[in-house]
Structures are given as C-alpha cells and as structure tokens.
Structure 1
Amino acid sequence: MSILRRLRASGPRMLPELDDVKLGRVRRQLTSAGIPGQSGIQIDQIERLLQETGADWDRRTHRLAVLAEAAAPSGLARAWRMRRPHSGDAMVFEAWVELVRGRHDGRMADARSVAADCRRAAEALPEDPAPWVVLLGILRLIGADTRELFPVWHEVTSRDPWNREAHLQMLRYLSPEERGSRSSQLEFLDAVRSGVPSDAPAVGVELTALVDEHARTLARGGVEALLVRRQWTNHRALRALDAALAHWPRAGHLRYAAAQADLNVLAYALVQAGRPREGAGVFDLIGDTVTPWPWSLDGDPLRQFGYWQAKALG
C-alpha cells in the first residue's frame, strides 16, 4: 500500500476476514440485523463461498473459521443442517460453530456428540482436513489425552501438511498451561522449523510461540516481567525474527489466507524486541488490517497498532 493510499485510508480496522473481500461481504451479512426469511439466503451465500475454494484447504479453513465465529450467536448452523442433513459442509460448519461456542464458554455441553459429527463430516468429505481440524480443537478444549489427539493431528497433516489452524492448536495444546510442557512445545517447534517452507501457512508458528512466551512472562510479573525484552535477544528469538524479516515483507511472498494475521504477529514481535523501525515494510504490507491478538496484550489493539505503525513508518 502506498503512502498516499494509507493517508486516504480511514485508519486501522479489525477485519476477521483479513483481505478476503468475498468472505467479508458474507460475514457482514451474517452479523447484520436479522430479517425474517434471510437464513435461506445466508446459507446459499455460505455454500457458494465454500464451494468456490475447491481443494484450497488453507482458504477453506480460514473461511470456515471466520464464518463460524460470525454465525455462533445465531441458529443459522442448525438451520443449514436441518435444510441439508447429509451435507458434509453443513455438518462441519455446525461442528465448528459448536466449537466456537465452547471456546467462549470454556466448555462444551456435549463435546462427544459434536466430535461424532466431525467424524461423520469426515466420511462425507474424505479429502477435506476441516472436519479433523475441528475435532482437534474439540479435543484440545476438553483436555483429551495425547493418545487421542495425535491420531487426529495426523489425519489433518496427511491431507494438509502445513494447516495453520491445526499447527496453532497443537502449539497451545503442548504448552505448559495445557497438556504439555516447555520441552514438548520446543520439540514440536523444532520439528516444524526443520520442514516448513518459508511461505507455508504454518510459517508463523514459532513467532506465535515467542509472543505466547512474552505474554506468559508478563503475566507472572516481578523482575522477569521488567526484563522481558531480554527474551527477544536470545538465539531462538533472533533467528525467528531475522528469518521472518528476510522473507515475509517481500510483496507477494506470503499468499496464504491468514498472511496478514502473521504479519501482525511479526510487527508486534519487532516492537517488543525494540526493533520497530525494522518493521516499516511489515507495517506497510499490513496496511490498516489489525488483528486483535497480539496487540490486545498491551491494551486497545487499534490504538496500540496505530501508535507503533506511525513510529515504524516515521
């Protein structure tokens, strides 16, 4: 985005769809005030949006995640399932909506039933990783044992090796706060780093882990929190930041659906590392599309992003 275009823009905005314009139009339809008889039109829009992704599993996963979040407060998912009871898309969408509700509530009323729906959706959509991605999220939410979770992880990665959502789910599941430990998380990150291409949807996992570690240190407080910037000078952090800076700011390098979300993570990490000026190209690529996390760790995300974008761009 040029300086002139940026000056004309209305300012930072939080758009869950990121730069997916078609997805944004449908999302706004789902979150607008209800009109009697509108659900049929909304279902048709969702069906078309998902069908046009074809076998682009990355784009499809992103669209399902955004639409499920938008539809969670309504009965749209149930209406779609009742309208098309044998549709794999309707099954996986309803399961994802239930997962969203479970995340918001901190629990699921009937996780096993929703998990069974995921498996039925997987039978209807044998090549699609999405049913397994949702099942992975459910198992993480209920704190399932690794013996139950890892086979599902392998089902996802056998269909979509660098699925971003699945990698983030595993990262958090293996964290000390959940069912893992620092060593198990580092082992996972080492495995990802050794194989992930520099433009794959899972390329931002290590930076996400570093921001998680940063937030964890701040939450503990004390002297560690006061010296948290030191975390960004160790070898692992420097390697991750330098690798990202070497590739991500190149126009057109990151083409996956959630690329702008990972660019937000990189911009935030550079700020925390005391290197905001090096992020000028990153902030320029982001433009005005702000993700709530990780900027919300320091307060209002729009205000935080706007302040540091102005600093970086001078």
Structure 2
Amino acid sequence: MTPPRLGLSRHKDGPAPDPALDDAELAAARDSLLRGRWSDVRTLLSRTGEDWDRRGHRVVVLAEHPACATWAQEWRLAEPDSADAVTLLGVATVFLAVRGRATPSAAREICQAAARMAPKDPTPWLGTLIMARRTGTDDERARAFDQVRARHRDHHHAHHLMVACLAEHQSGDADDPLHEVYDFASWAAEQAPADSPLAVLPVIAHTERYRVLAGAGLLPSDPAACGHWSTRRARQVMKAAFDWWLEWDGEDVRHPRHKIDLNYLAHAKYLEGRLPEAAALISRIGGHVTHAPWSYPDRDPKKAFRAARDAALGAH
C-alpha cells in the first residue's frame, strides 16, 4: 500500500528490504508479535506517543503481516479499553480485506471504533484511507484523507496515498497537463512547512501519473525511452528541490530548506525509473539513507550532507 521503496527489486527473485526499514524497535516488536507476545507491541506504540508519522508507519508495518489480526484480536480481548489494540486490529483487518479474507465493512467498522477511542490519532483514518483506495468511492477517499489531515496536516503516508489515488483517474487515451493530481501535489507542497519532505510531492505526482499511463499502455514502460512531458517536468521539479538542498551549506539551519536532503531526491529518481542516478545519490548519502519519504523526518540531515561532502572530496 506504500509507494515503492529504494532498493525494492523490480524482479521477483531480487532482494527486498525489510518494511521496518531502519527501525530496530519496530522489527523486534513485530517478531515478538508473530510469536504471540503482543505486550512488546503495546510498549512500542505507547512509547511512540503522538509522533503520528512514525506511529502510522509502525502500525502499517505490523498490520501488513497476515498473522497480525489474530494476535491483535487477542490483545483487544485482554485489554478492551486499549485504543492501540483496536487501532492495530482495524488496520490489520484492512489488509485482510484487501486480500479478500475479510469484508471492507468489517475493516471500516473496527477503524471507526478505534477513531472514537482515540479522537486525536490519525492512524485509524489512515487505515480507512488505505481501505477506501481499494474499495471506496472518490468521496470516501477524500473524506478519509480530510480526517487524517485534520489531525496531522502534514501526514506523509496519507498525502502519498492521495497522490496515488488521484493519479489513477484517467479519461481518454492521453495525459492532461492540468490533471488534478498535479494541482493537489502543488497545493500540498505549498501548504507544508518549508522543511517538510512534502516539498517534493509534485515529483511523486508526475511519477505516479507515469506509472498509470505506462500501465494503461499509453506510454513505454521504460521512462528513459520516453520524451513525455511528465518525465521532463518531474526532472525539473526534482532539480529545483536539489538546488534548494545545495544552497544549504550544512551549518546554517536558518535556510528555509535545511531539512531537504538527498533521500527524497533519490526516492524520486527511483520512482521515475532512473535507477543508476538513484544509486549514485544513495552512495553519496552513505549510511544515512531513509528508505521512505515519510519515515523519520527528524533524522539529522547534516550527517547526510557531511557524508556527501566527504565522499565528494574523497573522490578527488
């Protein structure tokens, strides 16, 4: 349900990254949950608190495993007043419904129960949005997104899901430069704080549209072989974001784009199909890569800058 992550192979036999990414606590709690020890998940989600982006990522990664719903239900029965237990069960039921192993109405009902128990938490509405993308109407998707944004206006995962949903609106046999997904992405980027990774959402909009058009057979599957305007525009938007990053010298935190770093640019290049360029950016980032653009926005971009600078100096 999430956008492709850096390092995810396009070949079925290739390596795939752990969805937990670099969150060791999440990986450990997930392993405990699959052994029936849901108390470790309770501790993890309690410690996550109101870091809504991280909480959403953690719940989604836990909930995606087919066995999660069983243990989340046991947790709910043991602690019926736990909003965390109901939220996890709701999102896990969403993924079961996506796989045809539960009904969408059951998934929505549990997510709504979780939303009533934790009215400040956008995560139950994120589950509803994931469900609505697969089975809902445009109005249901918009309503779920609005509920997420009302609780956390810069929610990364929800914005990426809405871009994917809007990009899939297709009429006729050609692209429209005024397609609604471009307006949405530009609006969201303008509304976000200057240091938000949503600044590159317009790039994601162009790459998602290319995915849809290529999937419909309207464009070649290889973006490098296509001179379509959307790929050129995506590169222009990406270059602008890269220029903002280069203007920051690694020390001046007053720069309005001081938290934009190479991770987002590498992710955008990957989505565009420009794998060698994405790999080159990853090598510059060194050990500080963040695999998904909504994960862990609080990591220190100065480390990535210094790694890139040292790599550049070492190359000479």
TM-score (norm 1): 0.69
Match of 1:46 in 2: 41
Conserved? CA contact 2:122–2:147, under 8 Å? yes
Structure 2: gaps (5+ residues): 1-14, 293-313
Q: 2:133–2:165: 8 Å Cα contact kept in structure 1?
A: yes
> How far apart, CA to CA, are the structure 1 residues paired with 2:149 and 2:276?
36
1:207-256, Cα deviation, whole Å (9 max, x unpaired): 3323323333443557745632555663453123431463399879659x
Mapping of 1:211-226 within 5 angstroms? 211-221=207-217, 224-225=220-221
Deviates more, 1:53-62 or 1:111-120: 111-120
> In the alignment, residue 181 of structure 2 is paired with which amino acid?
Q
Query: Which AA in structure 1 matches 2:189?
Result: R
- The equivalent residue for 1:301 is none
Residue identity matched to 1:62: H
Aligned to 1:66: 61
C-alpha deviation, 1:93, in angstroms: 0.3
For each residue in 1:59-118, what CA deviation from the matched residue of structure 2 results, as whole angstroms up to 9, or x when unmatched?
111111111123546621221122122211111101111112233x2x463212321222
Q: How many residues align?
A: 266
- Residue 19 of structure 1 aligns with which residue? 22
Residue in 2 aligned with 1:266? 268
Where in structure 1 are there 5+ consecutive unaligned residues?
Answer: 1-11, 292-312
The 3 A distance-change label for structure 1 pair 170 and 220 is: closer
Deviation at 1:156, TM superposition (A): 1.1
User: Which one of 74, 77, 87 corresponds to residue 72 of structure 2?
Assistant: 77
Counterpart secondary structure, 1:29: helix
Counting aligned pairs with the same residue, the percent is 24
Change (3 A) 1:15 1:246: farther
**Which residue of 90, 96, 105 corresponds with 1:95?**
90
Map of 2:186 onto structure 1: 190
User: 3-state DSSP class of the match of 2:48?
Assistant: coil
* Whole-angstrom CA distance in 2 between matches of 1:205 and 1:220: 23
Give the number of the structure whose residues are more often helix, by fraction.
1
Q: Distance in 1 between matches of 2:219 and 2:55?
A: 44
Alignment correspondent of 1:111: 104
RMSD: 3.7
- Give the corresponding residue for 1:132: 125
> Pairwise mapping of residues 20-39 of structure 1 onto structure 2 (< 5 A)?
20-31=23-34, 34=35, 39=36
- Find the aligned partners of 1:225 and 1:137 in 2 and give their Cα distance: 26
Structure 1 outlier segments of 4+, above 6 Å = 248-252
Which residue identity lines up with residue 124 of structure 1 in the other structure?
M
Name the structure, 1 or 2, with higher relative contact order (CA <8 Å, separation 6+): 1
TM-score, reference length from structure 2: 0.69
Could you tell me whether the CA contact under 8 Å between 1:270 and 1:278 is conserved in 2?
no
In 2, Cα distance between equivalents of 1:113 and 1:223? 38
Which residue identity does 1:284 align to in structure 2? G
Contact 1:77/1:90, CA 8 A, preserved across alignment = yes
**Do the aligned partners of residues 108 and 230 (structure 1) sit closer, same or farther apart at CA in structure 2, a change above 3 Å counting?**
same
Partner Cα distance (2:219, 2:113) in 1? 51
Q: Which residue of 1 aligns with 2:236?
A: 238
Q: Residue type matched to 1:210 in 2?
A: H
1:271 and 1:110 map into 2 onto residues whose CA distance is 35
Deviates more, 1:117-126 or 1:264-273: 264-273
